[in-house]
Amino acid sequence: MQELFSSMDNYLSAGNRLAFRVRLDASHPVYGGHFPGHPVLPGVCTLQIVRECLRRGTGRRFRYTAIRECKFLGMIVPQADDLLDIDIRLADDGPAAKKLVCTVANDGKTALKLKGTVSEEL
């Protein structure tokens, strides 16, 4: 599957915090159907990009086990807003789970606020 992004840079990995700068690939086929003539990054794809950041930042694959808050505060238009800043904070939540607090922003505007729990995939 073609990646939704053309680059992903981890510019901070300190303690429980990860920060990434992701450049979207505006030529990805998903934008042809979401929405024709007015492409927008689908919300589920934003959640997948967060998971990919987790994998790259920790070296482990995670899955969402609970999403307590998922607020999409603005649309991400890949041709205009191709650069995303993703800030992830993790905290232990039992022996196998981690609490996740994440924001996704573009051009200084918050596009997503996410709170949930992730567990390592087996």
Give this prediction's pTM. 0.93
Whether the predicted pLDDT of 1 surpasses 50: no
Q: Which of 1, 4, 3, 17 is nearest to 86 (CA)?
A: 17
pLDDT tens, position by position, 42-73: 999 999 999 999 999 999 999 999 999 999 99
